[in-house]
Amino acid sequence: MATLTVSAGSRTRVALRRLGRQRLLALLFVIPLAFLVLMPIYRLQTEALSNGAQAYSTEFGRERMPGTILATIGLAVGSLAIAMAAGTLLAWSATLLPARLRWMRVLPILPIVLPFVAGVLGWTFLLSPRPGYLNALLRRLPWWDHLVAGPIDVYTLPWIVIITGLTLTAFVYLFLSAGFQNINSELIEAAHVSGSGALGVFFRVILPMIRPSLLYGGAVALLIGLGQFTAPLLLGRQSDVNVLTTEIYYALYNRTPQDPAAAAAIASPLLIVGVAVVLGQKYLLGNTSRFVTHGGRGFRPIQRKSKFAVGLILTYLLLSTVLPLVALAVVSLSPFWSRRIAPGAFSLDNFRELFATPVLVDAVWTSIWISFLAVAICLPIGFIASSLLLRAKQLKVTRAVLDLIITLPLGVPAVVFGVGFLLTYTRDPFFLYGTKWVLLVAYVTIMLPFTTRMHMSGMTALGDAYVEASRVAGAGVVTTNLRIVLPLLRSSVGGAAALMFVLLTHEFTASLLIRSAQTQVMGTVLYDTYANGNYPLVAAVAMIMTAVTFAGVVVALSIGGSKVFEDL
C-alpha cells in the first residue's frame, strides 16, 4: 500500500492512504476468515483426492453404498416434504391467532433452539419397540394387545424421517411466518374484493408472494435434511440404517486405523450439493424487490379460525417438544428405563451421579465457557463483517469474497465441516487437536453466517440516516460506530448473542467429530453415555442441556423480544 503514496500534495496522500489503509484493514479481516472457512474444505478435497482419488472408487464401489445414498435422499426428501407441508400449515394458522394469543407464534420455533439430540432421545424413550412409553400405551388398545413389542419401531428409516421432519418443520415455519407477516393486508383484501374466495386468495395471491420465503425455508430444510446426522446416528444403528453422514463418522471412528480419505470422499456429494444450493439460492433471490410487500398494515386474514389455529400449534408443540421432554424427565428421574413409569421410585440419583462424575461435570463447563468465548469472538466479527458488507461500497471485490466466505458454512453440513476441522487442526501450522481451542475455532466458524446475518438485519433495520447524520455532524467512522450504531443495536444483538450461546451449548455433530478424550462437551458425553447403554444418566445429561438452553432462551427473549428468532 505504501507504494501508492507517492508524489503530489499532502492531501492526495491523505486520501490515497485512507483508501489504501481501508483495503489493507479489510484484507487483514477477511484473510483469517477465509482460512477458517476455506481451509477445512480445501483439506477435505486434497485428502479425498490423495492416492489418485482411490477413496472415491473404494467407497462408492461398496455394495451397500447405493442403499446408503437412497436412504440419504429419502431422509432429505421425506423430511423436507413433511416440513414444508406442516410448516406452511403452522405459519398460516399462526396468522389466524387472535391478538391476545399472538405470543403463541413463538412456540413452533422452540424445536430449533432446543437440543435436537435431547429430542431424539426423548422419542427413543417414547417409541422404542419394547420399553417405549407410547408403544406400551398403544399396546393397550384392543387390536394391538397381543403384541409384545411395537407397534412402532423408532429405529427404522420412516420414523427417522418423521422425527427429522418434525424438527425441520420449525425452520420452514420460521421463514414462512416472517413471509406472511410481510404481506400487506390490503393486497389480500383487494383479492377478496375482486372476487376470490379464501382458497383462491391463498393459492393465487399469498403463495406467489411468499415464494422467496418458501424457497429459502425449503432450501434450508433440504440442507439440514441432507446433512442430518444426529437422528440417523442415534436411531439408525439398531436396524442398520445408514446415511452418508453416518458413513463419514464410521469411516473415522469405526475403522482402525482411521480412514480420513474415505470420510472426505463420502463427504464430497454433500459438500457439492450444499454449496450448489447456497449459490443457487443467492442467485435466485438476487433481485427480491419484486417480492417486497412492506407498507400498510400487517397481514390479517379475513376469517378467524383461532380455535383451529391454537389446536394445531399446541399439537405441534406437544409432538415436537413436550412429549420428548416429558419422556426425558421421567427417565432421568427413574433408576432404570422400563415401560412402566414408577413415580414412587423417582429420585435425583442420576443427577447426583452426573455431578459426581468429573468427565461429565467437565463437559458441562467446557460447553458453557467455550460457547461463551465463541460468542464473544463472533460478535465483533459479525459487526465488522456486516459493516463491510453494507457500507464499504468502494471495496467491491473484498465484499464479494467476504459475502461468499460468510455464506459458505450455511451450505456445508456440520458433519462435513467436522471432518474438515479434524483434517485442518490435526496438522501444522495450527495443531490444535486435543485442546479446547479446536472446539472454539470450530464453533466460531460455524456461527459466522449467523452472527453476520443478525448484525446485518439489525443494521439494515437501523437504516442509513442515523449513521449519515452522525458523519455529517462531524463524527468519524469509529465514533459513529461507538456512539450511535452500537447503542442502537444493543437489544437486537444482545438477544441474538444469547441465542448463539444456546445453539452452541448443544452443538453435537461437529463436536463429536473433533473431540478428544480431554475435550468433551455436553453433546459428546451424552453420546458416549448413550453408546454405553446407561439411559437414565443419558437422560440426566440431556435434561441439563435442556435446562441450560432454557436459561439462554429466557435471556434471549428478555433482551431482544420474540423478534430475536427472526434473524435465524
Residues binding other proteins (CB under 8 A): 8-9, 11-12, 14-16, 18, 394, 463, 465-466, 468-477, 479, 483-484, 487-488
Output 400 or 469, the one with its CB closest to other proteins: 469
Give least dist CB 319 to other proteins, A. 42
Give least dist CB 382 to other proteins, A. 20
Give least dist CB 318 to other proteins, A. 41
Output 128 or 480, the one with its CB closest to other proteins: 480
Give least dist CB 390 to other proteins, A. 14
CA–CA separation, 299 vs 384, rounded Å?
34
Q: Which sign, positive or negative, has the C-alpha torsion 416, 417, 422, 423?
A: positive
Give least dist CB 378 to other proteins, A. 24
Give least dist CB 459 to other proteins, A. 15
Give least dist CB 480 to other proteins, A. 8
Phi and psi of 305, rounded to 5°? -120, 65
Cis peptide leading into residue 380 (ω within 30°):
no
Output 182 or 480, the one with its CB closest to other proteins: 480
Output 361 or 469, the one with its CB closest to other proteins: 469
The end-to-end CA distance of the chain, in Å, is: 38
323-333 vs 116-127: helix crossing angle, rounded to 10:
80
Strand partners, 309: none
Output 81 or 475, the one with its CB closest to other proteins: 475
Output 15 or 137, the one with its CB closest to other proteins: 15
In the DSSP assignment, the letter for residue 519 is B
Phi and psi of 320, rounded to 5°? -85, -25
Strand partners, 516: 519
CA–CA separation, 230 vs 242, rounded Å?
12
Output 377 or 488, the one with its CB closest to other proteins: 488
Give least dist CB 15 to other proteins, A. 5
Strand partners, 300: none
Output 429 or 476, the one with its CB closest to other proteins: 476
CA–CA separation, 442 vs 454, rounded Å?
19
Burial letters for 296-326: b for 16+ Cβ neighbours within 10 Å, e otherwise? eeebebeeeeeeebbebbeebbebbbebbbe
Set of cell numbers at residue 93: 394458522
Give least dist CB 463 to other proteins, A. 8
Give least dist CB 309 to other proteins, A. 33
**Among all chains, which residue has been given the C-alpha cell 460478535?**
379
User: Which of 547, 116, 111 lies closest to 329 in space, CA to CA?
Assistant: 547
3-class DSSP assignment, residue 392: coil
CA–CA separation, 481 vs 458, rounded Å?
13
Angle ∠(222,156,112) on CA atoms, nearest 5: 40
CA–CA separation, 79 vs 75, rounded Å?
6
Residue 372 parent element (H or E): helix 358-391
CA–CA separation, 324 vs 422, rounded Å?
32
